[in-house]
Amino acid sequence: MKISAILIDDERKALATLRSKIERKCSNINIIAETQSPVAGLDLIKKHKPQLVFLDIAMPEMSGFDMLEQIKNPDFEIIFVTAFDEFAIEAINFSAIGYLMKPVNKEELVIAVNKAIVNIKNKSALEKNKLLIENLGIHAFQKKKIVIPSVKGLDFIVISEIIYCEGVDGYTKVHIKEKKSILSSYSIGHFKDLLADHSFYLVHKSYVINLNHIVTYLNEGYVILDNNVNIPVARSKRSDFLNSLKS
């Protein structure tokens, strides 16, 4: 029995590695498409109607959970490929959906695929996927937290606790209330877009600040945040910035 599959992972190397392991160890899987873009992934799923989707959870454009929520009737089997555990893995396990930890182990891959094939035969995917969405409480979860990839793995950070983000040599330091800062490989522009709807403002090419953590604005063009850090406000942004504070 040949199973049609789509691979979705924003990391090119991870995608290539997963494809290679599937082709070598899972001859019953026919990879019909792959993409690094979750938005493109939605289109591929709609177009090809795969039986199985290997889906990364943490992607900057859209998380795997967000993708699942946008599909009206997700009746395909899913194997999540992830670099973290705890909350999400607990919910995935409760819903009896497969997952693989990165880096993907070949033996675990074979076991997950074999279980997926059994589930495909039993046609249980739609019910399980809907249960997963319910268990995760995706709406509340995504509104309150963001996922930040870091050196050690993935950090789930409450948005309101982020004081400011600082661009450093193409990376971003995320400064969090009463916690150590997190260094992310994403640029400051990524965080500007990610936090745009959450009272954050790009006051300088290197700084995105949380407006809720401002204590003082100094006339010479600085803001003092409630962690006693002074952040410069670019001259070209000062007028618009002050207007945003008033509104």
* Phi, psi for 198 (deg, rounded to 5): -125, 40
Give me the pLDDT at residue 138, please: 47
- Alpha helices in 60-122, H assignment, sequence order: 64-70, 87-94, 106-122
Confidence of residue 179 (pLDDT cuts 50, 70, 90): confident
Give me the pLDDT at residue 135, please: 63
pLDDT digits (tens, 9 = 90+) for 123-171: 878 887 777 777 665 445 445 677 787 777 778 888 889 999 999 999 9
Least confident segment among 12-26, 137-151, 158-172, 208-222: 137-151
In angstroms, the Cα distances linking 238 to 28, 133, 213 are 60, 43, 17
pLDDT > 90 fraction of the chain, expressed in percent and rounded = 50
Q: Which residues pair with 158 in a beta bridge?
A: 145
Give me the pLDDT at residue 137, please: 58
Say if CB 57 and CB 80 are below 8 A apart: yes
Rounded-to-integer distance, Cα 211 and Cα 205, Å:
16
Handedness of CA 186, 191, 192, 194 (dihedral sign): positive
Q: Which residues pair with 218 in a beta bridge?
A: 222
Give me the pLDDT at residue 15, please: 95
Give me the pLDDT at residue 139, please: 45
Confidence of residue 7 (pLDDT cuts 50, 70, 90): very high
Give me the pLDDT at residue 126, please: 80
Give me the pLDDT at residue 88, please: 59
Quickly count: other Cβ atoms within 10 Å of residue 42's Cβ. Answer: 18
Rounded-to-integer distance, Cα 93 and Cα 88, Å:
9
Per-position DSSP letters for 3-39, written without gaps between them: EEEEEE-S-HHHHHHHHHHHHHH-TTEEEEEEES-HH
Give me the pLDDT at residue 141, please: 47
pLDDT > 70 fraction of the chain, expressed in percent and rounded = 90
Exposed / middle / buried, residue 156 (Cβ in 10 Å: 0-12, 13-18, 19+): middle
In angstroms, the Cα distances linking 139 to 144, 145, 191 are 9, 10, 20
Average pLDDT value for residue range 22-36: 96
Closest CA to 71 of 53, 89, 97, 87: 53
Could you tell me the domains of the chain?
A: 3-136 (3.40.50.2300), 146-246 (2.40.50.1020)
Give me the pLDDT at residue 142, please: 47
| Measured torsion, CA atoms of residues 20, 25, 30, 34, in degrees rounded to the nearest 10 | -30
Least confident segment among 113-117, 218-222, 229-233, 243-247: 243-247
pTM: 0.56
Confidence of residue 209 (pLDDT cuts 50, 70, 90): very high
pLDDT digits (tens, 9 = 90+) for 52-101: 999 998 887 788 888 888 888 889 999 988 876 554 565 566 555 788 88
Give me the pLDDT at residue 43, please: 96
